[in-house]
Amino acid sequence: MSKSANNIDLTQFSYEELAHALYTKGKRDGYHKVTDKTKWREAVTAEKLGHVTFKKISAGKNSDKYGADADNPVSGKKAEYKSQALEEAQINNLLQRVKSAKTGSRYAPLTVGGVYNGAYSHEAVDRYRKHEHYFSIFYEERCLMIIRPRQATVIDQLRSEIDRRKKSNKGGSTNLNTVRINLGDKHLYDIAWKDEVWFKQHE
């Protein structure tokens, strides 16, 4: 069977059957529930990078797996995954297509965001310093690219947001800390994996 859904007659399957098939494959591979939230994206990312994902959703704060989703057998480090699903309009930003034929101006580079639920204090952020970080970009449930932000960039942004929120008069939670990487700032990340065929077809 081809790996491309375009070559499969999907009309013969219900949404329930397809979802159940994904669940069953995940269960066979050791996942507690790969269909839970965006857990399946972690499995996709790990396959692209040659990593080994953790089968449980999350690890306790006293575990060395805290703030990580997989093991990188090459580097020996643990990896934290973030992912973002793009809307149709954002493809223009990802590809930086020409916005105006008259002026030659292009769409602004895409900014990729990753939410760190566990980075609510400087002590918690310290745990992320040991891990590699990967941000995956999905479109139509396909992984198009995976970037690896510089570790210092991730940590600095997390710390800055904690300090900003603490100083804010509004107060509030320091959870849902977000790291944002503008793809135009190429010095802030490396491309860990890219679907070269898709980019060539849509350039």
| CATH number, domain containing residue 17 | 3.40.210.10
Residue 2 in any domain: the answer is no
Selection from 149, 141, 139, 148 nearest residue 202 by Cα: 139
Other C-beta atoms closer than 10 Å to the C-beta of 126 total: 13
Lowest mean pLDDT among 1-5, 19-23, 45-49, 74-78: 1-5
pLDDT of residue 64: 59
* Residue at 20 is within a domain: yes
Residue 181 has pLDDT above 70, yes or no: yes
Range of the domain at 107: 12-202
Count of domains forming the chain: 1
Q: Decide which of 10 and 79 is more confident.
A: 79
Phi/psi of residue 180, nearest 5 degrees: -120, 130
Rounded CA-CA distance 37/47 in Å is 18
| 44 pLDDT higher than 70 | yes
Bigger pLDDT: 3 vs 66: 66
The pLDDT assigned to 112 comes to 98
130 lies in some domain: yes
What was the pLDDT predicted at 180? 98
What predicted TM-score, i.e. pTM, was given to this entire model? 0.88
Q: What is the mean pLDDT of residues 141-158?
A: 97
